[in-house]
Amino acid sequence: KKLVQLSPADIKEELLKKYPPKVARKRAKQIMINEALENETPTEIVANVRTIPGIITMRGCTYAGCKGVILGPTRDIVNITHGPIGCGFYSWLTRRNQTEPGPDGENYMPYCFSTDMQDQDIIFGGEKKLEAAIQEAYDLFHPKGIAVFATCPVGLIGDDIHAVARKMKAKFGDCNVFAFSCEGYKGVSQSAGHHIANNQVFTHLVGENDTPKEGKYKINLLGEYNIGGDGFEIDRLLTLCGITNIATFSGNSTYDQFASAQHADLNTVMCHRSINYVADMLEAKYGIPWIKVNFIGAEATAKSLRKIAQYFGDKALMDRVEEVIAEEMPKVKAVAADVRTRTTGKTAMLFVGGSRAHHYSELFAEMGMKTISAGYEFGHRDDYEGRQVIPDIKVDADSRNIEELEVTADEKLYRPRKSADEFKALEEAGYKFKHYDGMNADMDKGTLVIDDLNQYEADKLVEIMKPDIFCAGIKEKFSIQKLGIPMKQLHSYDSGGPYAGFKGAINFYKEIDRLVGSKVWSYMKAPWQTNPELAATFVWE
Ligand code: CFN
Ligand code: HCA
């Protein structure tokens, strides 16, 4: 067997080799050999750009980001997909976002509501059908809210879903009806859908309930979607600490949580990519500051709880948080110590959405495992490079319109290209700073950070670097397993979870230990095993 040693630069070249020159030039800017150096200028990564036609991307669409991701986990709003049945069907609970119906039992998540658009609706227009669907949902359930989501054909034929929503809202009087222009093709990925969802949730829901909420330490948890029950575990810990969670955007959430979000004293942001717009709007309109938290990983969980306590600066709270950590951590540490005897030194690749590819490297590190390559499907540059400055945003008090916030437009203010002194000067000049580290700072030097990885590159990477585990989504699952490598879905968690918080960390350690130790994969013959000329080895130093 011929072993070839490849450097990260060789691997990059290998990935690009097969592309036509123009495609290779474009992809080269999205494949970065990570530098992660504090004071030097690291290589820039191009992100949040259109996938080159013909490439089989891992990304999803704008409708998915809006309907599936942001609004999907709210149980007592009827979500109607205006479009062909497939869009509604394939976004019907596939994300494994869980809910606990609560005393009122109101839960529409198990239903799939759609106008089931047909050819004649495309030709003659679908507004009447939409109106009838909204009426039917109202008559059947009398919900507090009905949300309408546009799919691609709706934008192409020009149905005015907002006019229909306004008309029905006025007609009912006791039901908030609002719509989202989240046609699938609208942005380059799910990310545009998050933005559209955030704007409308803020415009139509936040602030609707002005009855103050009880609680000494009141927070909102933004960017936590209760996948596999993650939100349940985080809520368990917050409750143990005596912290009141007013609203989760949007795991296990309700209409009233969104409507009451302005009563919180602090916003904690878990998945920054999907919800940063709401955090900024809550700060601009209601003066609620936000901090970045992360409950993926035991150390990260402890750190986040401490950060919240420090924000309130109350000794009783800080002591209680320490008690909770002291109670929970030994159990986690014991399991970690055991699995580490088998997992230390193993390697992982993480290619997921817009925050998990970063957050989960912490859990792997706790198992002594190394993330040798990672990337987001649709992250923006700030998700890779960290976010430092928020330019001023303007809020129109009457209409609640928020001026478009595009952080990446102010690129020159990112830390990697500024020294500490330069930042201090900017701070003195009145810039508002938010500090949090992106993926690059936490990845080792020489690792490969790849944006919008595609099917071809995934196969090639696995073939060259042979990780012990590959983490991505359902589209990647079986092609990776056919290469003889264990594959863990970090979107849906396959059938597992929760993986957040302390209990989640234990679940994750055990699951990964089982996967990387499994004999099943050794029975598979990967192509390079039957064709030695395909063999190449990447040696990690
Ligand atoms: S739950 Fe979140 S954590 S919201 Fe976002 S960026 Fe998706 S649905 Mo899939 S798993 Fe993924 Fe993130 Fe935030 Fe989920 S990494 S792609 S749009 N995502
Ligand atoms: C989406 C949702 C998704 C897809 C997951 C996957 C999710 O992008 O529309 O590809 O397995 O988490 O359910 O990201």
Strand runs labelled E in 211-297: 217-224, 243-250, 266-269, 290-292
- Tell me the per-residue pLDDT of 87-125, one tens digit each, with 9 for 90 and over: 999 999 999 999 999 899 999 999 999 999 999 999 999
> Measuring CA to CA, how many Å separate 534 from each of 1, 349, 457, 464, 528?
10, 21, 15, 9, 5
Relative to the CA of 353, which ligand 2 atom is closest?
14
- Tell me the per-residue pLDDT of 127-157, one tens digit each, with 9 for 90 and over: 999 999 999 999 999 999 999 999 999 999 9
- Tell me the per-residue pLDDT of 416-431, one tens digit each, with 9 for 90 and over: 445 556 656 655 655 5
Residue showing tokens 């600490």: 241
Residue showing tokens 């003066």: 287
Q: Residue 241: CB partners within 8 Å, gap ≥ 6?
A: 305, 308, 309, 317, 320, 321, 324
- Tell me the per-residue pLDDT of 283-313, one tens digit each, with 9 for 90 and over: 889 989 888 999 999 999 999 999 999 989 8
Alpha helices in 344-403, H assignment, sequence order: 356-366, 381-385
Q: Known catalytic residue: 61?
A: yes
Relative to the CA of 191, which ligand 1 atom is closest?
17
Instruction: Report residue 142 as tokens.
Output: 């009398």
Which residue CA neighbors atom 8 of ligand 2 most closely?
A: 60
- Taking the CA of 64 as reference, the closest ligand is 2
Which residue of 491, 493, 499 sits with most ligand 2 atoms within 8 Å of its CB, as the best mutation to test the pocket?
491
Which residue CA neighbors atom 7 of ligand 1 most closely?
A: 353
Which residue CA neighbors atom 9 of ligand 1 most closely?
A: 491
Check residue 416 and give its pLDDT: 41
- Tell me the per-residue pLDDT of 165-192, one tens digit each, with 9 for 90 and over: 999 999 999 999 999 999 999 999 999 9
Beta bridge partners of 145: 77, 176
Q: How confident is the model at residue 537 (pLDDT cuts 50, 70, 90)?
A: low
How many A from CA of 95 to the centre of ligand 2?
6
For ligand 2, say whether the CB of 307 is within 6 Å of any of its atoms. Answer: no
Rounded to whole angstroms, the Cα distance separating 485 from 463 reads 10
- Taking the CA of 224 as reference, the closest ligand is 1
Instruction: Report residue 197 as tokens.
Output: 């969802």
Which residue CA neighbors atom 14 of ligand 2 most closely?
A: 491
For ligand 2, say whether the CB of 492 is within 6 Å of any of its atoms. Answer: yes
Active-site hit among 36, 47, 59, 61: 61
Q: How confident is the model at residue 35 (pLDDT cuts 50, 70, 90)?
A: confident
Backbone angles phi, psi at 243, to 5 degrees: -95, 135
Over residues 64-68, mean pLDDT: 98
Active-site hit among 59, 82, 194, 320: 194
448: pLDDT strictly greater than 70: yes
| ipTM, 2 dp | 0.98
Relative to the CA of 95, which ligand 2 atom is closest?
13
- What DSSP character marks residue 178? E
How many A from CA of 455 to the centre of ligand 2?
15
Which residue CA neighbors atom 12 of ligand 2 most closely?
A: 491
% of the chain surpassing 70 pLDDT:
87
**Could you tell me how far CA 516 lies from the centroid of its own chain?**
25
Over residues 451-464, mean pLDDT: 96
DSSP string, 278-314: HHHHHHHHH---EEE---BSHHHHHHHHHHHHHHHT-
C-beta of residue 469 within 8 angstroms of C-beta of residue 516: yes
For ligand 2, say whether the CB of 190 is within 6 Å of any of its atoms. Answer: yes
- Taking the CA of 271 as reference, the closest ligand is 1
List the one residue out of 418, 360, 362, 364 whose CA is nearest residue 386: 418
Over residues 449-459, mean pLDDT: 97
Which residue CA neighbors atom 10 of ligand 1 most closely?
A: 491
**0.95 exceeded by pTM:** no
Q: Known catalytic residue: 82?
A: no
- What DSSP character marks residue 416? G
% of the chain surpassing 90 pLDDT:
78
Q: Residue 431: CB partners within 8 Å, gap ≥ 6?
A: 389, 391, 413
For ligand 2, say whether the CB of 126 is within 6 Å of any of its atoms. Answer: no
Q: Known catalytic residue: 95?
A: yes
> What average pLDDT is seen over the chain?
89
Burial class (CB in 10 A: 0-12, 13-18, 19+), 106: middle
Q: How confident is the model at residue 401 (pLDDT cuts 50, 70, 90)?
A: very low
Which residue CA neighbors atom 1 of ligand 1 most closely?
A: 225
For ligand 2, say whether the CB of 479 is within 6 Å of any of its atoms. Answer: no
Q: Known catalytic residue: 194?
A: yes
For ligand 2, say whether the CB of 475 is within 6 Å of any of its atoms. Answer: yes
Beta bridge partners of 259: none
- What DSSP character marks residue 520? G
531: pLDDT strictly greater than 80: no
For ligand 2, say whether the CB of 191 is within 6 Å of any of its atoms. Answer: no
Residue showing tokens 């012990």: 468
Query: Could you tell me whether strands 77-82 and 113-114 are parallel, antiparallel, or unpaired per DSSP bridges?
Result: parallel
